[in-house]
Structure 1
Amino acid sequence: MEKKQGTTLKRIGKTFLKIIIGIIVVIGILLAGIFTAHRLSLRSEAKKIEDYGQKLAVFDGTMNVAIDGEGPETVVLLTGFGTASPRLDFTPLIDELTEHYKVVTIEPFGYGLSSQTGRERNLENMAEEIHEVVKQLKLEHFILMGHSISGLYSLEYVNQYPGEATAFVGIDSSVPKQPWPGYNSAPMDLLAKSGIMRAFLKISGGEKPKDEAEAHRSEQMHMITMKVTGNETLAREATSLSNSFVEAQQLAFPKDLPVLLFADEGSAVKDWTELHQEQADSVTNGKLVLLEGSHYLHHTQSKRMAEEMEQFLGDTQ
């Protein structure tokens, strides 16, 4: 009887093991298929991504810079971390700003149509690369406008290169004293490189924009996102962010630099409003404007931001 039971258990064990092996094989085949489809899609999409901007030789690579509008004053736009195509992402804001300004959108190394770089992604280098672009474009004075992490890069910039920026405008910009739990990009990088992120986005779908121009921009953004997400340059910048926050705590905006800050009034970041108010109060001409929206305020509040900006800069001149 015991022998019979032992034989039955062995059969069950073998069957269970075969099922597990079968599941692993199926998952392996599925992942291999997803990866292959992703690589083929990247190759196909590379021919469909439309060129924009101009490529400047900067240190060990090329940086893409888009210039829009012909206003008498220049705005230099800096992106937040990980935004695949800064120029396309900033489109709603650029459309509003070009009524009064020339707008220069810098795509850092690893972003948009720029190349990658072997340079460290620290505050000093990020500011130096922006300065190299500004120098090549022969911009002596300009309004510096930055989203998210560019709040720190801008702080470094105005301290490294005093007198060039005539004002700073922050779009829900990072501040040195904000809580920073750290960021590990490895999981997202793996999802991107394996093709799982592409598969997930395809399954989840989402309603496509009805406007033809907006649908086209969305498609281009998607292809560029698939192309740049998970690249080595962005991964190294992610790793450097913790040090950047520490280093930025030694920095402050010059007292005489006008500072206009737009901040998400519903931000989940602890003391977000208070931290931005403190930064606005640290200069002679500082103002905080709280807006309803999300971290990407320029997607929905561009018109209001452009109006506030024109009034603020007019009052400080």
Structure 2
Amino acid sequence: MKKTITIIGKLIAALAIAIILFLAIVFLVNIVCNKMEQGKKESYGQFVTVDGKNMNVFIQGQGEETVVLLPGYGTAAPALDFKPLIDELSPFYKVVVIEPFGYGLSELTEKERSTENIVSEIHEALQQLNIERYILMGHSISGIYGLDYVNKYLNEVSAFVGLDSSVPTISEKKIGSPIIGTLKLLKKSGLARLQIKLGDDPYATLPYDDKTKEQLSILIHKNRFNPNQLNEAENMYANFRAAENLSFPKNLPVIFFIQADHKVTERWIPEHKKQIKDLVHGKVMTFEGDHYLYRTKAKEIVENFRAYMDEIK
């Protein structure tokens, strides 16, 4: 029995040492990779000063009308991720991509990621660029921020376009401190990098060039689970609740491009239709595809968007 216990003890000790060594290697590799990637990171767009910090914006196109693109939650580099859509829009519009704090090349902020703060910062960025009239186009969670935005700055927004955008009635679940703490540990330990490495590359089969894919990869590692995005996740439930009593202004043109078959809920299409039922100009269009429709359906989205804007003139 003593011999058996000794053997088991040695096995447990060996396993513990192996785990510690593995975690140490993951930690060190993450540090080295972060430093290497910092040197490979390339600038794009331009900085504007918002609340005393640098916010990155990317502008392409010379059209008379301006389209302002807002990202979904956790998009590592919005200006790069939106590239297929930007390329389809820019022959006809001036396209402005806002990278909120904690996204893309923008700095971090210490302010809470409440809808009020995020909307105020986006507006300040546009003010700094002297952009006073524009179409707001938002993906995912920007459907919530956009709803608040158009009510506050209705005199500036000429239309709202939702790209599989969130609706207040289909709320995200509340994310507690234990989950946030776990995600912080994953980031700090390097396990988040390992998780990405072992997972599928979301851009592998998509129409992005190799250079763009490399920069996307660098910024995914840089921004995933950063303090601003974690704080935004903590505030997400409250931000959805705050939007429950909001509706789009009756005379504001609104068009949604959404998934035809949502994998989680059958309410996706009905709830979007509810949002536009009382509007003078409201429309819902569905596409076969996933949540990131603009990556694969950019051309179809822009063609239908332009036709819609011509219809309502």
Q: TM-score scaled to structure 1, two decimals?
A: 0.93
Q: Percent identity?
A: 41
Contact 1:50 1:220 in 2 (8 A): yes
Partner of 2:15: 23
Contact 2:82 2:294 in 1 (8 A): yes
User: Residues 94-105 of structure 1: matches in 2 within 5 Å?
Assistant: 94-105=86-97
- Whether 1:65 and 2:60 are equivalent positions in the alignment is no
In the aligned structure 2, how far is the partner of 1:208 from the partner of 1:172? 19
- Whether 1:246 and 2:238 are equivalent positions in the alignment is no
Deviation larger for 193-202 or 145-154: 193-202
Q: Quick one: which amino acid aligns to residue 158 of structure 2?
A: T
Partner of 2:264: 269
- Cα root mean square deviation, aligned: 1.8
In the aligned structure 1, how far is the partner of 2:257 from the partner of 2:206? 28
Change (3 A) 1:175 1:66: same
Partner of 2:31: 39
Contact 1:74 1:143 in 2 (8 A): yes
In the aligned structure 2, how far is the partner of 1:250 from the partner of 1:203? 42
Runs of 5+ in structure 2 lacking a partner?
none
Change (3 A) 1:212 1:282: closer
In the aligned structure 1, how far is the partner of 2:8 from the partner of 2:205? 51
Partner of 1:256: 251
Deviation larger for 14-23 or 47-56: 14-23
Contact 2:70 2:142 in 1 (8 A): yes
Partner of 1:194: 189
Q: Quick one: which amino acid aligns to residue 310 of structure 1?
A: R
Q: How far has the Cα of 1:18 moved from its partner?
A: 1.7
Alpha-carbon displacement from aligned partner over 1:201-232 (angstroms, at most 9, x marks no partner): 43457698599961211111000111111111
Q: Quick one: which amino acid aligns to residue 66 of structure 1?
A: F
- Whether 1:221 and 2:213 are equivalent positions in the alignment is no
Q: What SS does the corresponding residue of 1:266 show, helix, strand or coil?
A: coil
In the aligned structure 2, how far is the partner of 1:12 from the partner of 1:181? 48
Q: How far has the Cα of 1:12 moved from its partner?
A: 1.3
Q: TM-score scaled to structure 2, two decimals?
A: 0.94
Partner of 1:234: 229
Change (3 A) 1:269 1:163: farther
In the aligned structure 1, how far is the partner of 2:202 from the partner of 2:52? 40
Deviation larger for 196-205 or 292-301: 196-205
In the aligned structure 1, how far is the partner of 2:180 from the partner of 2:202? 28
In the aligned structure 2, how far is the partner of 1:95 from the partner of 1:86? 14
Partner of 1:92: 84
Change (3 A) 1:204 1:234: closer
In the aligned structure 2, how far is the partner of 1:237 from the partner of 1:263? 23
Q: What SS does the corresponding residue of 2:94 show, helix, strand or coil?
A: strand
Contact 2:160 2:255 in 1 (8 A): yes
In the aligned structure 2, how far is the partner of 1:156 from the partner of 1:210? 35
Q: Matched residue pairs, number?
A: 309
